[in-house]
Amino acid sequence: MFSIGDKIIYGENGVCTVEKIAPLGISGASESKLYYHLCPLTGTGIYFAPVDSDTYMRPVMSREEAENLIASIPDIEPAICHDNRFNHVDAYYKELFKLHSCEALVAIVKGLGHRISDRKSKSVRAESTMKRAKDMLHGELSVALGIEIHEVEDYIQQKLSR
């Protein structure tokens, strides 16, 4: 069970802070069922997740894990879907998000970066998917490294250029 103040990864929503652990407090909801009240690092609103939920939740990686991930980025293969049918490409990347893995997020970013640069026309869907992967990855790295989310990309570049 997580504690108030913990930073966790919640499903495919990225980093959230556990703001409260309490019943929902709305009519019709059980007063005995506890929920995590989760505030996302990026975006607005509150997520409510039952404490006993099957939804994927884990602690944010440690600083050491973040540094090891960054060091391994050059070795992570890009996730490239060789099928150009829209629904197949979309499904391919959706499955990678379901892995809840930072390595998968790096592979998505690298693969879509190649896909976008190889195409002559812009793909709003590819750019949106790449932004989502970057936001999730950078969100977790920012918390693990203790830096602002907008500093993560430069931090990675500096580490990899050494």
Q: Give every CB contact of residue 102 below 8 A, 6+ residues apart in sequence.
A: 61, 69, 137, 140, 141
Q: What is the pLDDT of residues 126-143, one digit of tens each?
A: 889 999 999 999 999 999
Cα–Cα distance measured from residue 21 to residue 51, given in angstroms and rounded to the nearest whole number: 8
Once rounded to an integer, what is the mean pLDDT over residues 15-41? 91
User: What share of the chain has pLDDT > 70, as a percent?
Assistant: 98
- The average confidence (pLDDT) of the chain is 92
Q: Given a cut of 70, is residue 145 above it in pLDDT?
A: yes
pLDDT band at 121 (very low <50, low <70, confident <90, very high): low
Question: Which pTM was predicted?
Answer: 0.90
